[in-house]
Chain A
Amino acid sequence: MNGDIVRLTLRQLVGKRRTVFMVLVALLPSVLATAFRASGEGDPAEWASTQLLGGMVVAMLLPLAGLVFGTAILGTEIDDGTAVYLLARPIPRREILLSKLCVAWLLTAVFVAASLLVAGTIALEGTDEWGALIAGFVVATVAGSLAYCTVFTLLSLLTGRAFIAGLLYVFIWEGLVTALFDGTRLLSLRHATLGLAGYVASVSRDTFDPELGGATSVAVLILAVAAAGWLAVVKLQRFEIGESG
């Protein structure tokens, strides 16, 4: 881990329009939770776990934040040519990647965890499941943040259109394909995150019943981080400037 690269990356990401955009998106679950409680309809624990936290936060906000920060930490510098000021230094490429990945993970986890804490508290206040569900989803989204950021950072090293590729993964693969074919859920970070949330929360299956079990979810997340992280390091070590002249 390199503190100078961490500080540089934080300055690159914080204060930009993308951060303002993420703040606005992170406020949406709280707006929805307030509307739900105001309506006074439905079971708050079931609605919060499946629709609000499992739906909006894990299925939308988490991958979006991971995509925004994961593709920005290196993709932007590769696009504008500033990556050379880090790569033309006598420091191992894995140190560069690890430092930048930690920033993306930190920002993604902070945005998502803060959003779900506020929105979850609004939706679940006064229910028996409040503590368990919030704890389960916070742990799961922090772990899921690392997995999404690692995968999307790898994408930004593989293609110049990482953001589009990431959106396709989130909406087509995780949103559509895994809903149609059960076996594909093993290749879904969303389902692994939900599985981990269910395992940590340990609430009634009537309230929240994810598709993947706890052990499977943990294995999927660890494998995703290890494989994508290793490939990203290899790709960065073999990084080539793609221009001729």
Chain B
Amino acid sequence: MPPGPGPVPIEVEHVSRWFGNVVAVNDISFKVGPGVTGLLGPNGAGKSTLLHVMSGFLKPSAGGVRIGDEPAWLNPGMFRRVGLVPEREATYGFLTGFEFVRLAAKLHRLPDPDRAAARAIETVEMAGAQDRATGGYSKGMKQRIKVAASIVHDPQVLILDEPFNGMDPRQRIHMMDLLRAMARAGRTVLFSSHILEEVERLADSVLVIVAGRLAASGDFREIRRLMTDRPHTFRIRSSDNRDLGAAMLSQPSVSGIELDREVMTVRVADFGAFTRALPGVARTRGITLLEVAPSDESLESVFSYLVRR
């Protein structure tokens, strides 16, 4: 992919958006530049609302968004440099894939819409199905043809709302390669996801949004370390919970223990030190470990921890 004319950053400044009494996005500020940025958060966190504000489809209740030197709100002209892949699956079902992408090229007033459409369709590997009506496409095919329509004008900024929904593993890998190639060519790519692994595999930097607030932002490895180093809780069953609990309490990595009749709940301050110490302590005391399971590994609990920090 050839490099673009210059980096176009997305600047979000103190953006809030509320619907009646519900605050969907609460005083969020950040700036993202060329590269792939993941907008991560659980369902209902405010990701789509924020993406809609960024793409000019929602007026911020407070604050503002700039794409490069242009405001996002009341400015359809910004789409000369911006591509948008919406989350909703619907396409014009009566148009073929080629017609759908060519329509986008024509609306962008590209000099050779047929050629631009063919190139975009080739990029998302949909040439084999381009003459079929999009109404008959699978969810993954619709996602890819939507991406083709959004990159037909070779935008400097690409905003994607849950782009991997419905894609099979091979399609995901291909789409990730495509987005990485765009980022290498100096494009600003921002995508939302509620799946940690997708963001981990693709994004250079990450924005974590929880309950409408920006919980964390920056390099993904740093945020991953925060997630791993946070206090954990383990559920443990063993041949002698009482003896094991007494021994583990002396470990500096353990911050608290609750004993039930059959299950012991251990609160851990240092994940790595605890997982290294536990097997040794059990072996020394001749205790058999029947079950060791983290009890708070849901994405929501990880996000909640990041918000509390």
Contact = CB atoms under 8 A, between A and B. Distances in A.
Classify chain B: how many residues form its interface, as a range.
35 or more
Interface residues of A, number: 27
B44 A245 contact: yes
Contacts of A237: 74
A241 B52 contact: yes
Nearest to B192: A245
B25 to A, nearest CB: 8
A187 interface: no
Main secondary structure of the interface of A (DSSP, over half): loop
Contacts of A12: 92, 94
A109 to B, nearest CB: 24
Contacts of B108: 89-90
Most buried by B among A5, A12, A237, A243: A243
Contact of B84 (A11, A84, A245): A84
Contacts of B52: 240-241, 243
B207 interface: no
A82 B90 contact: yes
Contacts of B189: none
A80 B108 CA distance: 22
Interface in A228-245: 237-241, 243-245
Contact of A84 (B45, B49, B57): B57
Contacts of B57: 84, 87-88, 239-241
Nearest to B94: A11
A88 B48 contact: no
Contact of B79 (A2, A11, A81, A88): A88
Nearest to B41: A245
A245 B19 contact: no
Contacts of B19: 244
A81 B90 contact: yes
Nearest to B46: A244
Interface of A: 2, 4-5, 8, 11-12, 80-82, 84-93, 237-241, 243-245
Interface string B5-47: 0000000000000010010100000000000000000011111
Contacts of A89: 76, 79, 104, 107-108
Given A88-B79, A89-B104, A82 B84 contact: no
Given A90-B78, A244-B48, A245-B48, A85 B104 contact: yes
A239 B47 CA distance: 19
B55 interface: yes
B282 interface: no
11 contacts: A2-B107, A8-B103, A82-B92, A85-B100, A89-B104, A89-B108, A90-B80, A240-B52, A240-B59, A243-B48, A245-B49
Contacts of A84: 57, 84, 86, 88
B280 interface: no
A152 B46 CA distance: 33
B88 A81 contact: yes
A245 B43 contact: yes
Given A81-B88, A84-B84, A238-B59, A244 B49 contact: yes
Contacts of B150: 88
Given A4-B106, A8-B103, A240-B52, 9 more contacts: A81-B90, A88-B55, A88-B82, A89-B76, A90-B80, A90-B109, A93-B76, A238-B59, A244-B22
Interface string B93-105: 0110000100110
B114 to A, nearest CB: 13
A244 B16 CA distance: 13
A240 B76 contact: no
Given A80-B90, A245-B43, A245-B44, A90 B76 contact: yes
Given A4-B106, A81-B90, A240 B49 contact: no
Contacts of B82: 88
Most buried by B among A4, A92, A244: A244
B91 A82 contact: yes
A145 B271 CA distance: 72
B107 A4 contact: yes
Nearest first, the 5 closest Cβ-Cβ pairs linking A and B are A81-B88, A245-B48, A89-B107, A244-B24, A90-B80
B257 interface: no
B103 A4 contact: yes
Contact of A245 (B47, B59, B78): B47
A245 B92 CA distance: 24
A179 to B, nearest CB: 39
Contacts of B45: 245
Nearest to A89: B107
Contacts of A8: 92, 95, 103
Contacts of B87: 245
B74 to A, nearest CB: 6
B149 interface: yes
